């Protein structure tokens, strides 16, 4: 069966893009990256993608008079590459309402917290300051308001005594690399549907049980 083509939008390091790329090296994985689009020339993610033989495009946002015209250019690139799903992976630009509506239910993001807690930036630092016992990550469909939209999958990790934001970020990132390829796989397999604003995944089972954690 033909694999679903996806576009990955990046601005930086690209470790989540790499995780999806690695998963797609297996011929049985149901999705493949058709294009990687970056708003930042020279983003490390671009090199990683070209090393893997994936098409890359840079659309420098500073060359566009407004958000809408930048976003339209990005949409053109995604459509020219024949992609059906847009995957935000460390893409550090807010997207216009027009873009979010155009790609509604075909646009996903990963965020390094258990949404709806800790939206926005400096998430790991804020979690430590707040003294939460669990952090985690969320893959969700994108709605126009930042870090909102139907949740597809989450992973939780404990916060340990002595954690700083770097240690916590590394622990969460490891799980990001697990759940992002998984979410893309489920979507490509047609298992994911949105009912109201809640996602139902059919034929996939999460482990039972509860996690309990405290700080010394």
CB of 119 to ligand GRF, least distance (A): 11
> Which residue's beta carbon is nearest to the bound ligand GRF?
90
Whether residue 111 lies in the annotated active site: yes
Q: Return the residues of window 9-28 that contact ligand GRF according to CB under 6 A.
A: 12-16
Contacting range for ligand GRF; rule: CB under 6 A; set: 100-108, 110-118, 139-147, 183-191: 110-118
Q: Which window, 8-16, 21-29, 125-133, 156-164, contacts ligand GRF (CB under 6 A)? A: 8-16
How far is Cα 150 from Cα 147, in angstroms, rounded to an integer? 10
Toward ligand GRF, which CB reaches closer, 75 or 165? 165
3-state SS class at 1: coil
Distances (CA, A) of 104 to 21, 86, 116, 149, 181: 24, 10, 19, 10, 20
- 34: CB partners within 8 A, 6+ apart: 5, 6, 7, 54, 55, 81, 82, 83
Distance CA(107)–CA(144), nearest Å, equals 11
Nearer to ligand GRF, 89 or 157 (CB): 89
- Which string of x and - marks every residue 141-180 that binds ligand GRF (by CB under 6 A)? --------------------------------x--x----
Which residue among the candidates 111, 124, 140, 177 is catalytic per the annotation? 111
Say whether 160 sits in a helix, a strand or coil. coil
Q: Using the rule CB under 6 A, is 89 a contact of ligand GRF?
A: yes
Partners of 139 in the beta sheet? 110, 153
| Alpha helix segments (H runs only) across 54-203 | 67-80, 97-102, 123-130, 165-188
Residues that bind ligand GRF (CB under 6 A): 12-16, 89-90, 110-112, 173, 176
* Catalytically active residues, by annotation: 111
């Amino acid at each position: 069966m033909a694999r679903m083509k996806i576009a990955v939008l990046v601005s930086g390091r690209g470790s989540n893009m790499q995780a999806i790329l690695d998963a797609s090296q297996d011929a049985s994985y149901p999705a493949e990256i058709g294009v990687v689009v970056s708003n930042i020339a020279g983003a490390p993610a671009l090199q990683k993608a070209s090393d893997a033989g994936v098409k890359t495009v840079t659309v420098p946002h500073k060359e566009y008079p407004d958000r809408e015209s930048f976003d339209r250019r990005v949409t053109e690139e995604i459509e020219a590459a024949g992609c059906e799903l847009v995957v935000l992976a460390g893409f550090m630009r807010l997207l216009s309402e027009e873009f979010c509506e155009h790609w509604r239910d075909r646009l996903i993001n990963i965020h390094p917290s258990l949404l709806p807690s800790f939206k926005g930036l400096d998430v790991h630092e804020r979690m430590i300051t707040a003294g939460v016992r669990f952090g985690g990550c969320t893959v969700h469909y994108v709605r126009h308001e930042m870090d909102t939209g139907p949740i597809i999958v989450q992973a939780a990790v404990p916060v340990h005594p002595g954690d700083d934001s770097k240690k916590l970020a590394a622990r969460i990132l490891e799980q990001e690399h697990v759940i992002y390829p998984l979410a893309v796989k489920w979507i490509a397999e047609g298992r994911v549907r949105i009912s109201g604003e809640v996602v139902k995944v059919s034929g996939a089972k999460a482990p039972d049980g509860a996690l309990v954690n405290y700080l010394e």
